[in-house]
A and B are shown apart, each in its own frame.
Chain A
Amino acid sequence: MATTRKDGYRPGLVDISAGQVSREIFVNEEIYREELERLFARVWLFVGHESQIPKPGDYFVSGMGEESVILCRDRAGKVHVFLNSCRHRGMKVCRYDEGNTPVFTCPYHGWSYGTDGQLVGVPYFREAYHEKLDRSRWGLVEVPRTYLYKGTVWACWDSAAPPFLEYLGDFVRYLDLTLDGWDGSEGGTEILGGIQKWRIPCNWKFPAENFCGDSYHNISHRSVDLVGIGPSGTGRRDMRERQMARRLQVAFYERGHQTGVYLFPKDQATPPSYQHSPEVSEYFAHCEEERRKKRGEWGRLIGSPGEIFPNTALHPRQPRTIAVWHPRGAHQTEVWRWYVVDSAAPQEVKDFLRDYYIRYSGPGGMTEQDDMENWNYAHAASRGTIARRYPYSYEQGLGFETENYEWQGLRIPGTVMDITDAKSSEHNLRNLYRRWAEFMEAESWGELATWRLARAAE
């Protein structure tokens, strides 16, 4: 496999075989600057959801890496992603969060751009430019690659990157666990109005690794478990259905994506959940049944947190969310969180879930609050001269991965770690940093698209 060819970024910083990762990659500012070039300028990033810009002229200002971008729908209904910076003197063209406009007019010198990015207005074009300015070359900088997938909008600055679906590979089926309706209907989700945005004083990779499947941080959330916010009245989530399932960590070595999943047994009904509200409980029971029918064996699978490399997090089970960890310097992260519900769910279900989501996630969320405390001080306590000398340990479960995992007639794509008995492993976390190191070392996408090499060799 591709990954075994390398020992890590600048050998020693990421040592997967020893299960050790240097603290430098989290706190070193030079490495951070390199990440902006090698990672964020080359990968596919999540920028928003089509339902945020339903009509022509609608726009939503998003971020890619440290940069502001405009996600908008042009007059012909086509979706674009532009760098939010005027070509003339760099002014941030749009300083609003969202809205609708026929043109983006820069407030500095008044260059204006159509919603398709074309430079349509240049004051004094005739008098001062003598019509010599080639307007066709000075439109808004457009992200060369965008892809719409089941409502979500993805973008990539690198024209040499593989197409989005190839970038995902077979992991797309796990992304579906967040984007399809709970009843298995294709892309049957929508987002709730209101994107949460907040800042955390830590490197962006702390939340990234957490959502890759940190199955080990139970102590973090004991307080919310004691208080009880779960939709059946106790704990922080409904857990009963999962007690009969296989608990798996699934990683894609060549791509850097990973997720946790629960695989239900073949012939057992899912126990009731969401018992605080009979209507919600009924809705989910119905969806469970439907999904099993529609999806067959794959319907036995439900997701738990996952991560599309490098910084898009999925939380496929209620609270269903998509999060982006925007880097803001080596020492700060800006989190943006979109909340997802089944578009066909009754209003009462949506309301119930919205209330539950707010209790669980984000800076006001009783669960996530404790995560952020850990990310903050893990980062802070790793910045010192002495602290940096001591790598973190990632050896949990090293060597227990299974290549062709199968249980009760379902073969699971990806490299799997069954943690039903092991309780936890760092399999998925190792996968994140393995891919991270490859990106930091590779000079071109040619080296990164290893699956193409394998195919060519055949």
Chain B
Amino acid sequence: MDGNERISRLLLKQEVDEFLYYEADLLDARRYDDWLALLADDVRYWMPMRRNVKVDDLEREFTREGRDISWFDEGKQTLTRRVRQIQTGIHWAEEPVSRISHVISNIRLLEANPSWAEPAEVAVGCRFLVYRNRVETETDILVGKREDLLRRVEGELKITRRRILLDQNVLLSKNLTFFF
């Protein structure tokens, strides 16, 4: 990587950090319509379930995208429906509304195409900690890894693919009414 490339990469890293933190702010401020606007029209949003399997059988750890049952296997249309449901005001599982914070960390740029200097797409890895507290004392802490593919559309970054790897087997929350 030459000097120019390194600087391009650094600038891109800064832009991606800001983008992911901004996205977390939108979710935590319940600005769901603005959040939807960050998603590409062909976005894939997927959270597999995870199995306890032997160490030599780990390819079976995750349920498969597009084939198996998962926690989420979504496109923009269904994510929009999920937002609309919260906005009805009678989605009892989110009414009274939850208090949620997304803590995003360990952000790393994994790949940029075609180049660091002029990336049309960039793959990003990170960790998430989603804290949810609702009604009086209900508290969920969900931690895991995320792999995002971001695409530049008319100068703006959009999320085109999100893989959410939650570090749980039996889900310890009664529902997943929120976004990762």
- A: residues with CB less than 8 A from B are 95-96, 107, 199
| B96 interfacial by beta-carbon distance below 8 Å | yes
Contact with A along B79-97 (1 / 0, CB 8 A): 0000000000010100110
* B92 lies within 8 A of A96 (CB): no
Q: Is there an interface contact between B96 and A107, defined as CB atoms closer than 8 Å?
A: no
Residues of A within 8 A of B92 (CB): 107
* Chain B residues near A95 (CB-CB < 8 A): 95-96, 135
Find the A residue at minimum CB distance from B93.
A107
Residues of B112-160 contacting chain A, CB below 8 A: 135, 137
The 3 closest A-B CB pairs, nearest first, are A107-B92, A95-B135, A96-B96
Report chain A residues within 8 Å CB of B95: 95, 107
Pick 8 A–B contacts, CB within 8 A, sort by A: A95-B95, A95-B96, A95-B135, A96-B96, A107-B90, A107-B92, A107-B95, A199-B137
Chain B interfacial positions (CB closer than 8 Å to A): 90, 92, 95-96, 135, 137
CB distance from B81 to the nearest CB of A (A): 20
Alpha-carbon distance between A96 and B90 when the two chains are bound, in angstroms: 13
Cα distance, A107 to B90, chains bound together (Å): 8
Q: How distant is the Cα of A436 from the Cα of B106 in the complex, in angstroms?
A: 55
Docked pose: A96 CA to B95 CA in angstroms? 9
A199 vs B136: C-alpha distance when bound (angstroms): 11
What's the nearest-Cβ distance from chain A to residue B112, in Å?
A: 47
A95 to B92, CA, bound (A): 10
What is the CA–CA distance of A422 and B90 in the complex, to the nearest angstrom?
A: 62
CB distance from B27 to the nearest CB of A (A): 22
Contacts of B90 in A (CB 8 A): 107
Q: In the complex, what distance in Å separates the CA atom of A283 from the CA atom of B68?
A: 73
Query: Roughly how many angstroms separate A223 CA and B143 CA in the complex, as a whole number?
Result: 39
Closest CB-CB distance, A284 to chain B, in whole Å?
37
Complex: A95 Cα to B136 Cα, angstroms:
9
A95 to B95 alpha-carbon distance, docked (Å): 8
Q: Give the Cβ gap from A111 to chain B, nearest Cβ, in Å.
A: 14
Q: Report the separation of the CA atoms of residues A199 and B137 in the bound assembly, to the nearest whole angstrom.
A: 10
The minimal Cβ–Cβ distance linking B93 to chain A, given in whole angstroms, is: 10
What CA separation (Å) do A96 and B96 show in the bound complex? 6
Minimum Cβ distance to chain A for residue B137 (Å): 8
Complex formed: what's the CA distance from A95 to B98 in Å? 12
List B contacts of A96 (CB < 8 A). Answer: 96
Residue of B nearest to A197 (CB): B136
- Expressed in whole angstroms, the minimum distance between the Cβ of A190 and any Cβ of chain B is 26
User: For residue B96, which residues in chain A have a CB less than 8 angstroms away from its CB?
Assistant: 95-96
Question: Smallest Cβ distance from B20 to chain A, in angstroms?
Answer: 32
Q: A95-B135, A107-B95 provided; 6 other pairs, C-beta below 8 A? A: A95-B95, A95-B96, A96-B96, A107-B90, A107-B92, A199-B137
**CB-nearest residue of chain B to A68:** B136
Q: What chain B residues lie within 8 Å of A107 (beta carbons)?
A: 90, 92, 95
User: What is the distance, in angstroms, from A197's C-beta to the closest C-beta of chain B?
Assistant: 8
Q: How far is the CB of B85 from chain A (nearest CB, A)?
A: 14
Measured between alpha carbons, how far is A107 from B89 in the docked complex, in Å?
A: 12
Q: Which residues of A contact B135 (CB under 8 A)?
A: 95
Q: Give Cα distance in the complex from A96 to B136, angstroms.
A: 9
Cα of A78 to Cα of B86 in the assembled complex, Å: 35
Q: Which residues of B contact A199 (CB under 8 A)?
A: 137
- Closest chain-A Cβ to B45's Cβ sits at a distance in Å of 28
CB distance from A392 to the nearest CB of B (A): 30
Complexed CA–CA distance, A394 and B137 (Å): 35
Q: Closest CB-CB distance, B151 to chain A, in whole Å?
A: 40
- CB closest chain-B residue, reference A328: B137
What is the bound-complex CA distance between A96 and B92, given in angstroms?
12
State in angstroms the CA–CA spacing of A375 and B3 once bound together: 61
Look across to chain A and name the residue whose beta carbon is closest to the beta carbon of B134.
Answer: A95
Determine how close the nearest CB of chain A comes to the CB of B116; give it in whole angstroms: 48
Q: How far is the CB of A94 from chain B (nearest CB, A)?
A: 10
- Determine the distance from Cα of A118 to Cα of B52 in the docked complex, in whole angstroms: 52
What is the bound-complex CA distance between A257 and B31, given in angstroms? 51
When distances are taken between beta carbons in the complex, the residues of chain A under 8 Å from B137 are 199
CA distance A418 to B65 in the complex (A): 77
- In the complex, residue of chain B having the shortest beta-carbon distance to the beta carbon of A199: B137
Considering only CB atoms, which chain A residue lies closest to B90 in the complex? A107
Distance in Å: Cβ of B86 to nearest Cβ of chain A: 15
A195 CB to nearest chain B CB (Å): 12
Q: In the complex the two chains form, what is the Cα distance from A199 to B90 in whole Å? A: 30
CB distance from A123 to the nearest CB of B (A): 15
Q: How far is the CB of A101 from chain B (nearest CB, A)?
A: 13
Give Cα A199 to B139, complex, Å. 14
Q: Please name the residue on chain B nearest to A107 by beta carbon.
A: B92
Measured CA separation A95–B137 after assembly (Å): 12
* Closest Cβ–Cβ distance, residue A67 to chain B (whole Å): 13
- A210 to B146 Cα, complex, angstroms: 50
CB distance from A140 to the nearest CB of B (A): 19
Task: Look across to chain B and name the residue whose beta carbon is closest to the beta carbon of A94.
Answer: B96
Q: Give the Cβ gap from B174 to chain A, nearest Cβ, in Å.
A: 14
